[in-house]
Structure 1
């Protein structure tokens, strides 16, 4: 008989840890706010301002963005920290390299923007989301199924798989490079192969910093798409 685990492992521990770290950091940063902020307070305010202005206000819009800043702020730093875990020694595993974690957060966002659409437009939202305005009636039988697939099937899948695939691929490349370098330097006796192993290490360091950049970009892209989906649900009449 097959045995099944609880599903609670290293990645779940890191997700819980990320929530604790984010909460503790920002609580400490704003515990005693000063008119002239110190380094920690300044960094926290800069982070908040970046999400508020560059994602919230610019994407959701001046009129509607304020209520959504907390969600966008939490999403950005939650995804960012769980990505960066993959670059920290001993942890070295981005939480969202696991499909289940990526699906879970994408489903939360998916349900959120659909709920926003229904709240603002009622059930008419589903019609607004799949029936493009200004399109001739004769092409609607082709356009409507494409819009249904694009908005309600492809969108949540790509939202999750883009994050998962990027984190998994980057993590595997760095780990394979490290393993290959160890094999060439430790196991092989050839000077040429040993030297090649050293070059692989140099290359893996460059890959490490590139992966750090990708981790930040993926957190930004995930949050940016979240803002775009919410904006689309709020302004579905303009579809």
Structure 2
């Protein structure tokens, strides 16, 4: 994006992809790295404290912790994987949901204000190094290597003439596209949302402080109102994207475990 030059001579450099490249804090450690580690500490500390003294009538902290766990267990894992196999995957689904949720919400927390999932390497690592091996391993363990590949690439009912093309498409989807698109969804949403918030916030500040005339200064208020509105929308999207990532991950596991039809 090019620079916007106003009549007064002030120049506004709109935020772009370069805004997501942060200098190291110390050594080779960057802010996103610190935030990722901090998210693990936050999640572990909260759930340990909230469940330290369980009560029949839960307090607010225990109620929130139980609600998040029950949502991950029943609304994601059980529904997507099935009541027979879901229990052993609850820790994974619960961890994915809470980890991505906290790292997404960083984007609207003052002073932090950076969703770590907007750095492509983090969602790719979760997808390729965690989800991808788990659901293929689960399928191979249940069906055996040969039956699993047959179930995924050559299910019954596919005409022999189109089977080679069908198998090639399914192979590309199951082994390459699924893990990639899983990561791209959350990355793109966090990247775009953070960029939009930065444009409205910095743009409003620029119009208020860097323009000499009064004609454009009231527009800064409009920009900030949009920024506030977008913050609430972004919060909703941040929660939604954490849910979608966990939901699709559980869905892939459920599909890998499903019997042939």
Aligned residue among 73, 92, 97 for 2:118: 97
Map of 1:169 onto structure 2: 192
Please say if 1:119 is aligned against 2:137: no
Deviation at 1:7, TM superposition (A): 5.3
- How far the C-alpha of 1:56 sits from its partner, in A, is 1.1
| Correspondence 1:29-40 to 2 at 5 A | 29-40=50-61
Name the structure 1 match of 2:208.
185
Q: Which residue in 2 is equivalent to 1:67?
A: 88
What is the rounded CA distance, in whole Å, between the counterparts of 1:219 and 1:16 in structure 2? 18
Question: Number of residue pairs matched?
Answer: 234
After superposition, residues 6-25 of structure 1 pair within 5 angstroms as 8-25=29-46
Residues in 1 aligned to 2:162 and 2:47: alpha-carbon distance in whole angstroms: 52
Q: Which moved more, 1:203-212 or 1:123-132?
A: 123-132
Distance in 1, Cα, partners of 2:230 & 2:107: 13
Paired residue for 1:210? 233
Structure-2 separation of matches of 1:186 and 1:119: 63
Q: RMSD of the TM alignment (CA)?
A: 1.3
**1:154 aligned onto 2:177:** yes
How far apart are the structure 2 equivalents of 1:146 and 1:36?
52
TM-score, normalization: structure 1? 0.94
Q: Which structure features the higher share of helix residues? A: 1
Contact 1:18–1:82, Cα closer than 8 Å, also in 2: yes
Verify the 8 A CA contact 1:129 1:236 in the aligned structure 2.
Answer: no
Check whether the contact 2:155–2:260 (CA below 8 A) recurs between aligned residues: no
Tell me the distance in 1 between the aligned counterparts of 2:138 and 2:189.
29
Which segments of 5 or more consecutive residues in structure 1 lack a partner in the other structure?
none
Q: Partners of 1:231 and 1:88 in 2: how far apart? A: 35
| TM-fit CA distance, 1:137 | 1.1
CA drift at 1:236: 4.8
SS at structure 1 position matched to 2:39: helix
TM-score, length basis structure 2: 0.87
Distance 1:206 1:215 in 2: 14
